[in-house]
Amino acid sequence: MSENAAILTVRGLQTHFFTMDGVVKAVDGVSFAVGRRQTFALVGESGCGKSVTALSIMRLVPHPPGRIVAGEVLLDGTSLLALRERQMRQVRGAKVSMIFQEPMTSLNPVYTVGNQIVEAIRLHQRLPGRRARDQAVAVLSQVGIPDPAQRYKEYPHQLSGGMRQRAMIAMALSCDPDLLIADEPTTALDVTIEAQILDLLKRLKAERGLTIMLITHDLAVVAETADVVAVMYASKLVELADVQALFQRPLHPYTQGLFRSLPRLGQKKRRLETIPGSVPNPLAFPAGCKFHPRCLIGAGLERCQTAEPPLRLLQPNHYAACWECPGYAEAPAGDPAAAPIPYHPPEQNEPAD
């Protein structure tokens, strides 16, 4: 398998919510490709559409009111949006799995942890009870749960938050999917547990050749784990690059604003910098570039107010969508869904296929 093969391609995805007040375009033309064994981070603030993007890939958008109105999602060459619901169920869990933000509510309180993992296993594999049980205990042990045979028999309320998130990961990985979508997996956990869970994800990625799509609003988590980063703002991607390029030289004013608002060690400041204004109302996005009312550069510029910039390839493997980026006018459009952005962390060499 070629290094550059995409395991997941999302092209022109549009997911809209048809509400009483009007159509909310929660995801509005998002394209990207995720390379095999990459950790692809989707970053953005609350309400920008990152979770809906993930749910759209899983085809779990609450319907009504939500509906995927356009686009294509390819997983390992299979077009997920074209599948029947029955076929899609075969994909969920077995090919792509998802874990959620709230480990406290992600497990059913009335069943033991083991019971729920066994259920996931037996949905996809015809296994006798004993073998399914052994497999569940094995996967619990793989996610670093001590005394897995005992934990197998315990109820969710008997586990701590970190343990529950591990159990969730175990359930999601029990059928050995290729892709794991992690929707803010550490947001509800405290920092020490967060570090443990991120380490666990990294280890699982290395051990199982897992691809991870990580959804977060935390740039520290991105720096820690991601290979490729997509920044989302108001239902669209505004920047897409490998993690080093993005952290060293963010191109889009929104991304730059995010970095400016981070606290830095050794810097004495009374207040952190902020991005002025607030997230636009998804029912009435501003005309032109959706970021222009908050933008330090484009706020007064006519083009920013009237025309929305598409993603363009500004540097090799670095996309951004901003009229005022240096070189944007001459840059080719590029297709972020055509191929994943290659990235290998400089210090550690991943084993090649």
Site for another protein in 273-332 (CB under 8 A): none
Q: Where are the alpha helices (DSSP H) in the chain?
A: 50-58, 85-91, 113-124, 129-142, 148-151, 161-173, 191-208, 219-225, 243-248, 253-260, 302-306
Which stretch, 10-18, 171-179, 199-207, 248-256, contacts another protein (CB under 8 A)? 171-179
Closer CB to another protein, 153 or 249, in the complex: 153
Q: Which residues are bridge partners to 236 per DSSP?
A: 233
Which stretch, 158-166, 299-307, 322-330, 334-342, contacts another protein (CB under 8 A)? 158-166
Site for another protein in 50-69 (CB under 8 A): 58, 60, 64
Q: Work out how close the CB of 98 gets to another protein at its nearest, in angstroms, rounded to a whole number.
A: 4
Closer CB to another protein, 149 or 262, in the complex: 149
Figure out which of the listed residues 105, 278, 306, 315 binds another protein, where binding follows CB under 8 A.
105
Closer CB to another protein, 83 or 279, in the complex: 83
* CA 49 distance to own-chain centroid: 11
Does residue 266 interact with another protein by CB under 8 A? no
Figure out which of the listed residues 67, 70, 155, 202 binds another protein, where binding follows CB under 8 A.
155
Q: 3-state class of 220 per DSSP?
A: helix
Taking the CA atoms of residue 122, residue 126, residue 129 and residue 133 in that order, the dihedral angle to the nearest 10 degrees is: -60
What would you report as the CA-atom Rg of the chain, rounded to the nearest whole angstrom? 21
Which stretch, 91-99, 207-215, 234-242, 277-285, contacts another protein (CB under 8 A)? 91-99
Residues 18, 97, 81: CA angle, nearest 5 degrees = 45
Binding mask 114-133 for another protein (x = CB under 8 A): --x--xx--xx---------
**DSSP secondary structure of 34-47:** EETT-EEEEE--TT
Q: Work out how close the CB of 200 gets to another protein at its nearest, in angstroms, rounded to a whole number.
A: 18
Which stretch, 70-78, 95-103, 234-242, 282-290, contacts another protein (CB under 8 A)? 95-103
Closer CB to another protein, 41 or 169, in the complex: 169
Alpha carbons 54 and 40: distance in angstroms, whole number? 12
Which stretch, 6-14, 36-44, 148-156, 290-298, contacts another protein (CB under 8 A)? 148-156
Q: Work out how close the CB of 79 gets to another protein at its nearest, in angstroms, rounded to a whole number.
A: 18
Q: Work out how close the CB of 159 gets to another protein at its nearest, in angstroms, rounded to a whole number.
A: 6
* Contact between residue 234 and residue 293 where contact means Cβ atoms under 8 Å apart: no
Figure out which of the listed residues 20, 77, 109, 248 binds another protein, where binding follows CB under 8 A.
109
Encode burial over 54-80: b for 16+ CB neighbours within 10 A, e otherwise: bbbbbbebeeeebebeebebbbbeeeb
Closer CB to another protein, 116 or 235, in the complex: 116
Only one residue has tokens 């029912």, namely: 283
Closer CB to another protein, 174 or 317, in the complex: 174
Alpha carbons 80 and 57: distance in angstroms, whole number? 8
Nearest to 29 by CA among 303, 285, 352: 285
H/E stretch holding 180:
strand 179-183
| Residues engaged in binding another protein (CB under 8 A) | 58, 60, 64, 89-94, 97-102, 105-111, 116, 119-120, 123-124, 147, 150, 154-155, 157-160, 163, 168, 171-172, 174-175
